Amino acid sequence: MSDSAAVRLEPWDEHNQALVANVHPPGWTNPTPSGRYNLVVIGAGTAGLVAAAGATGLGARVALVERDLMGGDCLNVGCVPSKALIRAARAVADVRAARSAFGVDVPVDAPIDFPAVMRRMRRLRAELSPIDSATRFQGLGVDVYLGQGVFTAPDAITVEGHTLRFAKALIATGARAAAPPVPGLRESGYVTNETVFSLTALPRRLAVIGGGPIGCELAQVFARFGARVHVVQTGDRLLGREDGDAARLVRAALERDGVRFAMNVRVTKVERGANGKILQLAADAAPGGLEPLEVDEILVAVGRAPNVEGLGLEAAGVTFDTAAGVRVDDLLRTTNPRVYAAGDVCTPLKFTHHSDFQARLVIQNALFLGRAKASALVVPRCTYTDPEVAHVGLTAEEAQARGRRVRTFVQELADVDRARLDGDAEGFVKVHVAEGSDRILGATIVARHAGEMLPELTLAVAHGVGLGRLARIIHTYPTQAEAIRKLGDAYNRTRLTPTVKRLFETWLRWTR
């Protein structure tokens, strides 16, 4: 791997070697630029790859610059490895519940082969990597440069001694794990999403700093694998952006898996002790102090910092800040009209699918004089805890903050046959409609496969399909998605006012 590669993949087994051979091939020879590019893309994560492939496919001359691993966070240290581990952890939970919930007589304390679990994750990650590989993109006609991209002028980028001139450029440099300024944390050592997937032994005791999506997903995974997990969260609620009822259900589920929570608690200092890493904790509610927490490993998951440093943005006339990232307008243009940005480097909605769709929008706007607006994208999201929390549109709190009056319909999964049969009865579908109509403003689903159920509601939000109309869509029986149709029925029942009912009764009497 080149010296500039920031992510260190361990262990150096056949799977990681196969991965790197695809996404940062050793000995790769950068092409020699000839003439000006229509589009130079810095960063080969989701946003960069989608933009490069799309633009080349439409006939543009495109250069793609990546300093580390093509595929970015999602493939290498994000969605892909985390979801592989989540699946394995679900298998553990299913085995543990097999006897009590399903009458299947398997030993509940069957040992977990953590190295095998991690090997499966590495194998799958490597198997998925050809689609993001340097040779595939080269084959598509993209000039792939491996090395650090730096703007040297408003219309030029250098990489490994080559100067790439461009008509348009896209900054798609993503984000990295933010580190809280806790004294002693760096010296004591910790893992983030960039290193946690390189673990080869299960930490016996794990502190997770941060109760957002990444913290919650991985806390549950490691607890299910058998680690004693403590989540330390500064606020009073997990998954701060999500519906309060959803967050409460997730917390209860994690607690059942053995995760302990220290809420409204700050880590003030970390030290290395004889038997582990010691976290000193403080809370306003405990002026006398809290018991220190001793663990074997610390996972930091306190948010993401945009990658804006070392890019030469000043030379390009691109305005940015280190918290919010590159500043863009609604067309994803930066303060340099030649330069656009997409993905985690410029948006608070840091999701792979959002990066993907922002990149598509950049192709239209940068290369074809388009006026597609980022604010028009309907961006669903899902946290892949068990149960999952999937959401689209506004939460009730957001609607209230915008002065929108909503009516909320809730269908508990306990009243959905398939959820009962599956043993997944804990959860709900909640839909907020605009007061006085069936227009869906937002929806939250808490269910084992909430992310798979959400697209129907995303479609409804994006295309203005009212909740009442969803009742007229035949859903196969028995499915958990029937919960959505039931909500449509619930909405339609509200239209059966006493007057309408009286009219129906009169008609029926008359036609008897």
Ligand X SMILES: Cc1cc2nc3c(=O)[nH]c(=O)nc-3n(C[C@H](O)[C@H](O)[C@H](O)COP(=O)(O)OP(=O)(O)OC[C@H]3O[C@@H](n4cnc5c(N)ncnc54)[C@H](O)[C@@H]3O)c2cc1C
Tell me which of 54, 174, 211, 276 binds ligand X, using CB under 6 A. 174
Q: E-strand spans in 28-181?
A: 37-42, 62-66, 143-146, 150-153, 156-159, 162-171, 175-177
For position 280 contacting ligand X by CB under 6 A, the verdict is: no
C-beta of 43 vs 488, nearer to ligand X: 43
For position 144 contacting ligand X by CB under 6 A, the verdict is: no
Name, in order, each residue with C-beta under 8 angstroms of 195's C-beta and a sequence gap of 6 or more. Answer: 8
Q: How far is the CB of 70 from ligand X (least distance, A)?
A: 7
Q: E-strand spans in 172-326?
A: 175-177, 205-209, 228-233, 260-263, 266-273, 276-282, 293-295, 297-300, 304-306, 320-321, 325-326
Name, in order, each residue with C-beta under 8 angstroms of 419's C-beta and a sequence gap of 6 or more. Answer: 413, 425, 427, 447, 480, 483
Q: How far is the CB of 408 from ligand X (least distance, A)?
A: 26
For position 172 contacting ligand X by CB under 6 A, the verdict is: yes
Residues from 464 through 493 that contact ligand X (CB under 6 A): none
Tell me which of 133, 195, 336, 352 binds ligand X, using CB under 6 A. 352
Q: Which amino acid is at 179?
A: A
Question: Which range of residues in 88-96, 112-120, 172-180, 236-244 is near ligand X by CB under 6 A?
Answer: 172-180
CA 471, distance to chain mean position in Å, is: 30
Tell me which of 20, 51, 64, 73 binds ligand X, using CB under 6 A. 73
For position 355 contacting ligand X by CB under 6 A, the verdict is: yes
For position 25 contacting ligand X by CB under 6 A, the verdict is: no
CA distance 373 to 326: 17
Tell me which of 22, 82, 188, 220 binds ligand X, using CB under 6 A. 82
Q: How far is the CB of 500 from ligand X (least distance, A)?
A: 44
Tell me which of 1, 21, 79, 462 binds ligand X, using CB under 6 A. 79
Q: How far is the CB of 361 from ligand X (least distance, A)?
A: 13
C-beta of 25 vs 78, nearer to ligand X: 78
Return the half-sphere exposure (C-beta side, CA atoms, 13 A cut-off) of residue 483: 32
Question: Which range of residues in 54-62, 78-86, 321-329, 471-479 is near ligand X by CB under 6 A?
Answer: 78-86
For the chain, report the end-to-end CA distance as a whole number of angstroms. 82
Tell me which of 78, 210, 212, 387 binds ligand X, using CB under 6 A. 78
Binding-residue pattern over the window 363 to 402 for ligand X, x denoting contact by CB under 6 A = ---------------------x------------------
Three-state secondary structure of 255-291: HHCCCEEEECCEEEEEEEECCEEEEEEEECCECCCCC
Q: How many residues bind ligand X (CB under 6 A)?
A: 37
Three-state secondary structure of 384-411: CCCCEEEEEECCHHHHHHCCCCEEEEEE
Give the bridge partners for 205, in sequence order: 228
C-beta of 164 vs 406, nearer to ligand X: 164
Binding-residue pattern over the window 195 to 214 for ligand X, x denoting contact by CB under 6 A = -------------------x
Pairing of strands 276-282, 266-273: antiparallel
Question: Which range of residues in 268-276, 344-352, 401-409, 431-439 is near ligand X by CB under 6 A?
Answer: 344-352
3-state DSSP assignment of residue 125? helix
Q: How far is the CB of 125 from ligand X (least distance, A)?
A: 13
What radius of gyration do the chain's Cα atoms show? 25
C-beta of 145 vs 491, nearer to ligand X: 145
Binding-residue pattern over the window 30 to 59 for ligand X, x denoting contact by CB under 6 A = ------------xxxxxxx-----------
Two tokens, residue 167: 């008509």
Contact 471, 488 (CB under 8 A): yes
Q: How far is the CB of 280 from ligand X (least distance, A)?
A: 26
For position 221 contacting ligand X by CB under 6 A, the verdict is: no
3-state DSSP assignment of residue 437? coil
C-beta of 382 vs 406, nearer to ligand X: 382
Two tokens, residue 470: 């969803």
Q: How far is the CB of 303 from ligand X (least distance, A)?
A: 10
Helix 114-128 crosses helix 14-23 at what angle (to 10 degrees)? 20
For position 305 contacting ligand X by CB under 6 A, the verdict is: no
For position 173 contacting ligand X by CB under 6 A, the verdict is: yes
Q: How far is the CB of 50 from ligand X (least distance, A)?
A: 8
Of the candidates 433, 455, 314, the one whose C-alpha atom is nearest the C-alpha of residue 381 is 455
C-beta of 276 vs 343, nearer to ligand X: 343
Question: Which range of residues in 31-39, 167-175, 234-242, 320-328 is near ligand X by CB under 6 A?
Answer: 167-175
For position 351 contacting ligand X by CB under 6 A, the verdict is: yes
Name, in order, each residue with C-beta under 8 angstroms of 62's C-beta and a sequence gap of 6 or more. Answer: 37, 38, 39, 40, 41, 52, 55, 56, 141, 142, 143
CA distance 512 to 510: 6
Chain position carrying tokens 């306003």? 284
Q: How far is the CB of 491 from ligand X (least distance, A)?
A: 30
DSSP type of residue 413 = G
C-beta of 243 vs 344, nearer to ligand X: 344
Question: Which range of residues in 68-76, 391-399, 456-464, 494-502 is near ligand X by CB under 6 A?
Answer: 68-76
Residues binding ligand X (CB under 6 A): 42-48, 65-69, 72-74, 78-79, 82-83, 148-149, 172-175, 193, 214, 307, 311, 343-344, 350-353, 355, 384
